[in-house]
Amino acid sequence: MSDALPAYTQLLDDLAGERAVTAAVLAGLADDAWDRPSPAEGWLLRDCVVHLAETDERAATIAEGEEAPFGRRDPNAGVLTPGMLRGRDLQPAAVYLWWQQAGDRMLAALRRLRDLGNTVILVEHDREVLEAADQLFDFGPGA
């Protein structure tokens, strides 16, 4: 087992733990709470959850070895992605289920990569995650 695998396993466990806390919060929300504005300008709480689902779906698709399509945004939609527009038509339970399934798929795909001994490259900005990394590569201006 590579020295990196315990750190990667801990990262996956942390991600699963964060998802469990988020799930508990979301499960306790009344339906009308999903349409409250979020701190992200122009986004409702449901938009934030859909954004997480979309991101998890893309991560899972890439981890499964597929190419993740990036759709074009409708310029009239402002800050909303196509998924967010779709999510606004869904009942909160459907948005919650979408988020749950996308996250489960992503975690399963990342665990498969770990179990196969693959190297995982993560683009991250969180200091705690960076400090836990086995190796860091800094790219971009000022690197």
Dihedrals phi, psi of 37, to nearest 5 degrees: -65, 145
Between CA 46 and CA 53 the distance in angstroms is: 11
Q: What is the pLDDT of residues 105-122, one digit of tens each?
A: 999 998 888 888 876 666
Q: What is the pLDDT of residues 8-63, one digit of tens each?
A: 788 888 888 899 999 999 999 999 999 999 998 888 999 999 989 988 888 888 88
What Cα–Cα distance (Å) separates residue 89 from each residue in 58, 84, 95? 21, 9, 9
Q: What is the pLDDT of residues 87-96, one digit of tens each?
A: 888 999 999 9
On whether the CB atoms of residues 102 and 60 are closer than 8 A, the answer is yes
What is residue 1's predicted lDDT score, i.e. its pLDDT? Answer: 46
Report the candidate in 112, 122, 107, 10 with the shortest Cα–Cα distance to residue 99.
107
